[in-house]
């Protein structure tokens, strides 16, 4: 296919005419969209950092899933379980909380 024919076909389409006629408006809308996206990403990162900072300051246990145990003895128990070298766990203190 000849490139001149292809160019004439493209230039004859209504979509091409519309985009060329409103090119400046389309670029402005794209700019606003990108700026809005960057602002929303910045807000998300700030909120994430703020939440993690609050958890770290006010709670005894923090990880990437936002688990927070604010009572010190629970945090100590979880740290002891995490640091256990053996797989023996005392299950005598487990109670049913479903009912």
Check residue 28 and give its pLDDT.
96
pLDDT at 19 over 60: yes
pLDDT at 99 over 80: no
Q: Are 68 and 56 in contact (CB under 8 A)?
A: no
Q: Which helix (DSSP H) or strand (DSSP E) does residue 19 occupy? A: helix 14-21
pTM of the model: 0.48
Check residue 90 and give its pLDDT.
57
66: alpha, beta or left, given left = phi > 0 and alpha = psi -120 to 50?
left
Q: Which helix (DSSP H) or strand (DSSP E) does residue 48 occupy? A: helix 23-58
């Amino acid at each position: 296919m000849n490139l001149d024919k292809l160019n004439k076909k493209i230039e004859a389409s209504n979509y091409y005419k519309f985009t060329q006629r409103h090119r400046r408006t389309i670029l402005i809308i794209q700019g606003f969209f990108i700026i809005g996206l960057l602002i929303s990403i910045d807000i998300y990162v700030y909120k994430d950092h703020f939440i993690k900072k609050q958890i770290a300051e006010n709670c005894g246990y923090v990880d990437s899933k936002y688990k927070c145990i604010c009572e010190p003895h629970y945090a100590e128990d979880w740290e002891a379980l995490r640091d256990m070298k053996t797989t023996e766990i005392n299950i005598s203190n487990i109670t049913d909380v479903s009912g």
